[in-house]
């Protein structure tokens, strides 16, 4: 059986070893953990997190805002940005960026999420969609937000329960989950709200993964 003196000696040996481990690790994980705790505490104090969902497109960019309070989701606003089709590509992209920047300034979301690019059979269309998606991601990034990305399959599974759901099914479920939303909303806005809802379900797991990466 160890005596009191031997226990004290063991503690004295352990403390320097533990300190050395922390020093070698650079304490980066401690910093990440502390920042995560501060963020969670801040969120708990204000209770509500506002999420901006984005459905990118060069012709129509859907956006939707929801408030998350615990497990409760509340509709805030939604809309569709439609650049004039007769403008040059660069000007249309600037139109998307400027108008989305104005939306962010007006509604002040805390986090953002966007649908990943769908690769279709037309390389030119896929490339243009990628440009529009980049313009959409830059606006929240400029406002200091990280932008989570979700595949269309994951969004449909999260909102409808089936990865092959069509736009009408997504629209129906968004209206059920957010009953205060305008019933005449366009499909692009519904897709954006669905992206925001998906992020509301997965955001804490994503934050944990980012911290442990």
52: β partners: 65, 112
Catalytic positions, written as ranges: 55, 115, 188
Is 111 within 8 Å of 203 (Cβ atoms)? yes
Structure tokens at 50: 């506002």
DSSP single-letter state for residue 80: E
Query: Burial, 45: exposed, middle or buried (Cβ in 10 Å; 0-12, 13-18, 19+)?
Result: exposed
Residue where the block lists tokens 């089709």: 85
């Amino acid at each position: 059986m160890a005596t009191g003196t031997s226990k004290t000696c063991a503690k004295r040996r352990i403390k320097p070893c533990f300190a050395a481990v922390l020093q070698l690790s650079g304490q980066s994980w401690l910093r990440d953990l502390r920042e995560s705790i501060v963020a969670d505490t801040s969120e708990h104090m204000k209770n509500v997190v506002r999420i901006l969902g984005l459905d990118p497109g060069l012709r129509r960019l859907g956006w939707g805002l929801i408030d998350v309070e615990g497990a409760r989701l509340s509709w805030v606003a939604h809309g569709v940005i439609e650049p004039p089709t007769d403008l040059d590509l660069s000007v249309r992209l600037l139109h998307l960026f400027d108008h989305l920047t104005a939306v962010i300034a007006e509604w002040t979301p805390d986090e953002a999420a966007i649908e990943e690019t769908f690769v279709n059979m037309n390389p030119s269309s896929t490339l243009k969609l990628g440009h529009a998606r980049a313009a959409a991601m830059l606006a929240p990034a400029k406002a200091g937000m990280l932008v989570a990305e979700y595949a269309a399959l994951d969004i449909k599974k999260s909102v409808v329960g089936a990865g092959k759901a069509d736009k009408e099914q997504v629209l129906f479920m968004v209206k059920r989950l957010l009953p205060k939303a305008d019933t005449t909303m366009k499909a692009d806005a519904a897709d954006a709200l669905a992206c925001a809802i998906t992020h509301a379900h997965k955001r804490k797991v994503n934050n944990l993964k980012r911290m442990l990466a």
